[in-house]
Amino acid sequence: MLCNPFRDTHLLNVIPGTRILQETFGILGWRFDDPKKRGRIWTVQDLYAPLVRKVGGIRAAVADQKGFISFCNQRDLELLLLLAQPGQWCVWLGAEYPGINDPDFFGVCTDPEEARDDLFERELNLRAQLPGVLPYGTQITRRIHLDYSCDVEELDMVTYDCNPETGYGPDTRLETIDSRWVRVERNPLQWERI
């Protein structure tokens, strides 16, 4: 077990203004094989604060060897990193760990909230290179693993890097990221063909 996210809240401090955890639990850089796609290897990049979900806990941002990003919930990450075994009792969740092939196992996937977390982290990196207001039309391309049946390449563009209420910029808040960026296109990719 990495931590009990309901009891060990002192370990869930985030980098101010983000949902990225300051605590790494010593697992950044750890790798695991994709349980459904042979040859695909995921590496833990960052850890994020819990969101209210069916399976809570911390979330791991992971990347594969072809540059796709995705996320994994704590319960499934503990299984994939071999920190827990199917059928063991998950103390912090109050249920057994599922098997990798069980319908309750989510594994590596990205929902819209996690896609925002990734976009925001990329924006922070972009701001380190381009201080001040991000110019209109600035673009980034992301490869995103949405779920086991869907990989995409997405092109995102800055539209307005100012606070929508005051008009002053730059606007560096996570909660307003959707007002700064727009998805220009999203194309499906076949991982095996890249």
pLDDT digit string, tens, across residues 126-169: 999 998 999 999 999 999 999 999 999 999 999 999 988 888 99
CA dihedral 166, 169, 170, 175 (to 10 degrees): 10
Please state the φ and ψ torsions of residue 131, each to the nearest 5 degrees. Answer: -65, 155
Q: What is the pLDDT of residue 164?
A: 84
Q: Report the mean per-residue pLDDT for the chain.
A: 95
In the chain, the percentage of residues whose pLDDT exceeds 90 is: 93
Q: What is the pLDDT of residue 190?
A: 94
Average pLDDT over residues 46-51: 96
pLDDT tops 90 at residue 92: yes
Gap between the Cα atoms of 97 and 105, Å rounded: 9
